[in-house]
Structure 1
Amino acid sequence: MVPEEYLHAIALRECSLIGDINFHKLIRTFGSAEEAWKRAKKEYSKAEGIGRKTVADIGNSDYLRFAEKEIQFCEKNDIRIHLRHLKQIPFLLNECDDAPAILYQKGNFDDSLPKVSIVGTRNMTSYGKQFVCDFFEASKPSKYISVSGLALGVDKEVHEQSILHKIPTAAVLAHGFHTLYPSKNRKLADKILEEGGALLTEFNSSRKPDRENFIQRNRIIAGISPATIVVETGFGGGSVSTATFANDYNREVFALPGKITDPYSQGCNQLIFQNKASCISAIKDLINSLGFNHSKAKPKELFPYSEINMQLTENQLIIYQTIQTHPHVSLDDLAQIISTPAYKILPVILELELLGKLKSFSGRQFTAI
């Protein structure tokens, strides 16, 4: 039964209007991919939200032949095929409504280990590089898996630092296993596998690294981990989409703040300003937030406390002391307490977050550090 189920799952997912969500609807209705393949075209009305046009391709023998070749390709190249409806994909990813129906895996991925996703711009600066190096140095006593996208820049640095510090790493690809993009990272991909890590993709072997695949890939990076760290990104960068997915999945998001004049910090600053990410003020605090609070050595701080304890302005002091008195206060309540419009408070809150004096939470709530 299992081989037939894989065959029909791949064939079903190949149908032009059967995406991940429609795939899951058919599985819920008919119980398996094999049954859906046999019955859905005639009995589509049993599935909620499925119309005649949606199931028009089901039963096409070309898709079955494609699935046979895909299974042969995977067997030849030591690629495992995981089906969501058989509960074979990572458990956190499985919680997402739009999780992939099929996930292809090459290498090892221990789902019992904690995970953290780390993403950022392809145009990484020395500031971002130093942060990634310091983070992995401070967290190396922990047992966890780092997750990123095998792109140039921040992704590449994340995978390389993981390997350097003997931390398993997983790269989520935006294409099938017939190729490797970017080709510059082929040796790195091989090294990830050699060091006990994994390459993951939802795309079959025929799929090229088309532009739209990268946004689709980002939801897996966000969904597979309880927390996502955005190192550096510009306005509208791909990492912003990863953070958006993470917020939608109710995951923790952390962002590395930077100067407002630095183009590759503007996306991070915006995420913090809009309360879509917690501001990273010190690596030791980030590690504690991730649950990696075992380290006996004192982690290097991003901002020394001598800087944090600088004199606050009158506006900063009023807001800071009010939040100290009212932990987890919301923005609306804060505005009411100090009789100041919210739009005037937000810039000051961002300043205090950058100074490491405040921490933001979902729902525009704040607490003093």
Structure 2
Amino acid sequence: MNPINSYAISPSELEARLRLHRLPDVGPKRFRLLIEAFGSASKAISAPAGAWRSLGLPPISADARRSHEIRDGASQALAWLERPDQHLLMWDQPDYPALLAQIYDAPPLLFIAGDPAILEKPQLAMVGSRRASRPGMDTAAAFARSLAGAGFVITSGLALGIDGAAHQAALDVGGQTIGVLGTGLENFYPQRHRRLAAAMIAQGSAVVSEFPLDAAPQAANFPRRNRIISGLSLGVLVVEASMASGSLITAKLAAEQGREVYAIPGSIHHPGAKGCHQLIRDGAVLVETIEHILEALRGWQALSCPAPIAVAHPLVALLRAAPHTSEALAIASGRPLAQLLAALTELELEGQVICENGRWFARR
């Protein structure tokens, strides 16, 4: 078994915990209740059904604990844990993430593919629309690159849109990133991001889930997933979100957990900005640059601003010669306008350029 799983627990107790974890209607609160009431998962599994009923547990939970399906699922999880880079963290284990342990319904078990040690590093969650606009995707990527360079692990939900852009951008600059799934790790969703998840694991990052390995995507799973994203993180940055976006659930959970909530504003005419504007009205920090996030987190020793760039970026060199509009700079640099605007956004986040009255200037 992997070293992370070798803390003082017997094989029979581990197997019993995996069985409890798979039972219908046994969530984090009931899982802990059972272990506290009986002293261990092994004793809970063997206790009479009447003892379970006395705790207020539904009959379906007690009846299922000895079923072949539950036993087989636990056995498959044990076999999964024998493979490289596959781990299990338990809520009463010293290695369990300290910030996540603070939330009232912290998951009792976390399955991890990749490096479990990064779950203890300072994290910044980045979330947003699954149907993000191209400027929104570019903004997410620019912020993720800068935040990863500043020492944050970028945490998100591996969904399409903003989540995927943030994960990929962190990897692109050699940073670390954590994807939290709303399914089991062996029933990956969305399938389009399976390759991204594999790259994350291969490059020293991690993909995690509280759900049994074969758990299918269900609507109720994703709000539960969101509380882990916010619970692991020092704060949550919402990049682009409509009023119906699940990102607002993550932001609400973050606020309830005592985490900072950040939101990037957008055009009043863009539906994807309305969720961020509502968050700002509700008290979220309005973010235009990475500095607005770092200002609130200066006390974390693990964080440091990116090192100064020794060689001027080609666009900065052009702007040092003379200010340009976006269109003029696209012509002068030979870059497509969309690509140019993405590069300028990143340079603005790094404090190298500034836009005033429709023209771009290099900062001295």
Q: Same fold (TM over 0.5)?
A: yes
Structure 2 match to 1:2: 10
Give the alignment of 1:1-369 within 5 angstroms: 1-39=9-47, 41-44=49-52, 50-51=56-57, 53=59, 56-57=62-63, 59-62=65-68, 63-76=70-83, 78-109=85-116, 110-275=118-283, 277-291=284-298, 292=303, 294-295=305-306, 297=308, 300-301=348-349
Question: 1:283 & 1:36 partners in 2: Cα distance?
Answer: 49
- Cα offset, 1:23, TM superposition: 0.8
1:30-55 CA-partner distances (Å, limit 9, x unpaired): 332222223374434775xx346475
Would the aligned equivalents of 1:18 and 1:54 in 2 still touch at CA under 8 Å? no
Q: Is the 8 A contact 2:130 2:160 kept in 1?
A: yes
Q: Secondary structure at the match of 2:184?
A: coil
Q: In the superposition, relative to structure 1, how do residues 280 and 286 fare at CA in structure 2: closer, same or farther (>3 Å)?
A: same
Alpha-carbon deviation of 1:280? 0.8
Structure 2: tracts of 5 or more residues without a match: 1-8, 310-346, 358-364
Q: Which digits, 9 at most, give the CA deviation of each residue in 1:57-81, with x for residues without a partner? A: 3642432333122212342475212
Alignment CA distance shift 1:118-1:151 (3 Å): same
Q: Which deviates more, 294-303 or 250-259?
A: 294-303
CA distance in 2, matches of 1:99, 1:289: 25
Letter aligned with residue 206 of structure 2: A
Aligned position for 2:326:
none
* CA distance 1:213–1:112, change in 2 (3 Å): closer
Give me the whole-angstrom Cα distance separating, in 2, the residues matched to 1:125 and 1:206: 33
Q: Which TM-score applies when normalising by structure 1?
A: 0.75
Does the Cα contact within 8 Å between 1:136 and 1:165 map onto a contact in 2?
no
CA deviations 1:157-186 (Å, max 9, x no partner) are 111101111111111111112232222212
Identity of aligned residues (%): 29
SS of equivalent residue, structure 1 residue 97: coil
Asked whether the equivalents of residues 114 and 204 of structure 2 are also in contact (C-alpha less than 8 Å), the reply is yes
CA contact (8 A) 2:13 2:42 kept: yes
Partners of 1:283 and 1:294 in 2: CA distance: 10
Offset at residue 26 of structure 1 (A): 1.8
Deviation, 1:297, is: 3.7
CA separation of 1:139 and 1:176: change in aligned 2, threshold 3 A: closer
Letter in 2 for 1:148: S
SS in structure 2 opposite 1:211? coil
Task: Kindly state the Cα deviation for residue 21 of structure 1 after the two structures are TM-superposed.
Answer: 0.9
Q: So what's the TM-score if we normalise by structure 2?
A: 0.76
Specify the SS of the correspondent of 1:29: helix
Q: Which amino acid aligns with 2:261?
A: V
* Alpha-carbon distance between aligned partners in 1 of 2:224 and 2:49, rounded to the nearest angstrom: 28
Partners of 1:105 and 1:211 lie apart in 2 by 22
Measured against aligned partners, the alpha-carbon deviations of 1:259-296 in whole angstroms (never above 9, x if no partner) come to 22111111111111122x21113322223323345345
Instruction: Assess, with a 3 A threshold, how the Cα gap between structure 1 residues 98 and 128 changes in structure 2: closer, same or farther.
Output: same
| Counterpart amino acid of residue 286 in structure 1 | I
1:56 and 1:133 map into 2 onto residues whose CA distance is 47
Separation (CA, whole Å) in 2 of partners of 1:138 and 1:51: 48
Structure having greater relative contact order (Cα 8 Å, sep ≥ 6): 2
RMSD: 2.6
Contact (CA 8 Å) 1:45, 1:51: kept in 2 or not?
A: yes
Aligned-partner Cα distance in 2 for 1:221–1:13? 20
TM-fit CA distance, 1:113? 1.7
Shift of residue 237, structure 1, vs aligned partner? 0.5
**Residue type of the alignment partner of 1:300:** E
Alpha-carbon distance, 1:151 to partner: 1.1
1:84 partner amino acid: W
Deviates more, 1:81-90 or 1:167-176: 81-90
Q: Residue 331 of structure 1 corresponds to which residue in structure 2?
A: none
What secondary structure sits across from 2:214 in the alignment?
Answer: coil
Q: Residues 206 and 140 (structure 1 numbering): CA distance in 2 closer, same or farther, change over 3 Å?
A: closer
Residues 218-250 of structure 1, C-alpha deviations (whole Å, 9 max, x = no match) = 111111111111110101201011111111111
| Counterpart residue identity of residue 348, structure 2 | K
| 1:264 alignment partner, SS class | helix
Task: Identify unmatched segments of 5+ residues in structure 1.
Answer: 308-369
Distance 1:99 1:108 in 2: 20
